[in-house]
Amino acid sequence: MQRFLADGTFLRVYLALALALLLTFALALMGLALVDRIRVEQYREQLAEAPMQLLARKVSALPPNARGDWLTQQGDLLDMRLSLREPANANLGWFAQRRLERGSVLVVMEGEETWRMFLRLPGEERILEARLSGLNERQLRGLAQMLGDWLAEVDGEARQQRLESVTSQALAIRLSHLAPDGLDSHQLTRLREGELVIRLLPGHWALTVYLAVPSADGTRQWLSIGPVSALEPTPISLLLLVLLIMLGVLAAIIYLIVRGVEARLARLELAAGRIAGGRLDTRVKVDGGGFIGRVGMAFNAMAAQVQSLLRSQQEMIRAVSHELRTPVARIRFAMQMVEDMTEDPAIRRQLRGIDGDIEELDQLIDEILTYARLDSGIVNGANLERSRIDCRAMAMRVIDTLAPLHAHLQLELAPGPDVEVLADPRYLQRALQNLVANACRHAQSRVRVQVTEETRLVRLDIEDDGPGVPDTERQMIFKPFARLDDSRTRRSGGYGLGLSIVQKVMAWHGGSVVVDDSQELGGARFSLLLPIVPPKRA
């Protein structure tokens, strides 16, 4: 636990996830509260639409000098305060005024009980305001009686049009020629006598108002207002939608948090891959001082230490190799002086052997210097001088160079199309020549070179009909100064650096060298695998 708390990165990740969770739940609660508020406001406006439309139409039909008294009288009857206002004196915001201009009913709550309802008069600029403190039965009866009287003023199609003008989604108003169902005989008698009947529906928490509306021909229609129901709870579908939105927001926040950690780890992975490929000058950009930042700093320190050690090793190898040339040159000069001073055949034969040993020593020093240059280039991050190379032409040059030295062998280039690759011509030819020379030393009669182009790489295969390379030794032969104990021994020549140089050259090019069995010739098959590098745009 102590280590967990001391680990800043993971602690920050967990705290960030916890904060994301709390933030998401807070957003969900705010969303639900906002949705409920909007639903309540819509319900109030729909509930107030029919009464306000009725009052506005009644007021607009009156002459201007009679409106004040009528509003005062109806206000006392309905237990509310009615007034007409100019838009500038209504103390409403810009959005509220735009809604009134579109003919919508506006409900503004002052405190818990006081309602302020606004509606623009039809065809006028003035606004009707109704202020009431809560809803009660007196208001319901008065508005229903007013509606019945208003509908009784006309008949037929005009009555139906008036009815449709005040009907809303929250308050259904219907006229029927049949007596309403569900009323007892006493209630029906009261309706026929012109009284207003209110029917409560307990199971639905709603009520319906019934009223008889007489017609000019002596008949009557039955007016039903409602059911006026209480606001229903939030639907399950809406709650599920809010939950899905909450989970989506939470998933997005967690993804962004984890993505940030993953991006920093991906940089470490990329840098490790580049160092594994030989680019020891690669460093990681360190962000912050958390766990991943400390890993990045340790990674950079490790890479710098490895690069420094390898650089010191390469400098020592180059210095030793150069220093060896001076005593070798003195030995060669002394041997030539001795050779000039004697004519003894036995002594001259020994001197020729010494000269051969000196020549081998010179070649070994050249191999060591080449190996050191390759290592130095990889360690110091030097870039290759790449150019387009015709691989078949390069293979023919190598064969023409080595064929006179191995007259007993058949060196051949397998037929195929021309293949080009982007590489350093000097080092790539050196790698191919080392492999062909190695095959010539161990082949019995044939050496074949084949060049093929695959989807993402160019392949150069060098095959021979020699004894091959055992499976257990195929990784060891690429180590410096490594030799096989059976088929490929010191008697076959070489110094154990040729294959190491080939591997270094291929690593510097971003490729590889592999060895397996030759299916056609029966010996070993060494393969140079070079990735196809697109040319840089000018």
Domain containing 407 — which CATH number?
Answer: 3.30.565.10
Same domain, 351 and 412: no
CA 187 to chain centre: 69
Residue 147: inside a domain: no
**Percent of the residues in the chain that have a pLDDT greater than 70, as a whole number:** 82
Range of the domain at 260: 237-382
Same domain, 356 and 439: no
**The whole model's pTM is what?**
0.43
Residue 3 binned pLDDT confidence (cut-offs 50, 70, 90): very low
Residue 29: inside a domain: yes
Tens digit of pLDDT for each residue in 348-357? 777 777 777 7
Q: Is the pLDDT of residue 131 over 80?
A: yes
Same domain, 371 and 472: no
Same domain, 282 and 343: yes
Give the C-alpha separation, 530 to 452, whole Å: 11
Same domain, 420 and 473: yes
Tens digit of pLDDT for each residue in 169-221? 667 788 888 878 777 788 788 878 778 777 777 655 677 888 888 877 777 88
End-of-domain residue from the set 382, 416, 435: 382
End-of-domain residue from the set 108, 135, 162: 135
Nearest to residue 190, comparing CAs of 205, 175, 200, 179? 179
Q: How many domains does the chain have?
A: 3
Residue 157: inside a domain: no
For 43, the token pair is 């319900």
Same domain, 407 and 525: yes
Backbone angles phi, psi at 292, to 5 degrees: -65, -35
> Mean pLDDT, to the nearest integer, of 431-449?
88
Same domain, 241 and 352: yes
Radius of gyration of the chain (CA): 50
End-of-domain residue from the set 382, 406, 432: 382
Residue 488: inside a domain: yes
Residue 509: inside a domain: yes
For 164, the token pair is 């449709």
Same domain, 265 and 331: yes
Same domain, 59 and 76: yes
Same domain, 332 and 440: no
Residue 221: inside a domain: no
Residue 206: inside a domain: no
pLDDT at 170: 62
Same domain, 332 and 418: no
Per-position DSSP letters for 314-369, written without gaps between them: HHHHHHHHHHHHHHHHHHHHHHHHHHHH---HHHHHHHHHHHHHHHHHHHHHHHHH
Same domain, 368 and 433: no
For 262, the token pair is 């993953």
Helices (H), 380-456: 391-402, 425-442
Provide the CATH number for the domain around residue 301. Answer: 1.10.287.130
Place of tokens 């199609």: 157
pLDDT at 194: 78
Do 449 and 435 touch, CB atoms closer than 8 A? no
pLDDT at 249: 79
Q: Is the pLDDT of residue 538 over 70?
A: no
Please, what is the end-to-end C-alpha distance for the chain in angstroms?
57
Nearest to residue 286, comparing CAs of 264, 301, 266? 264
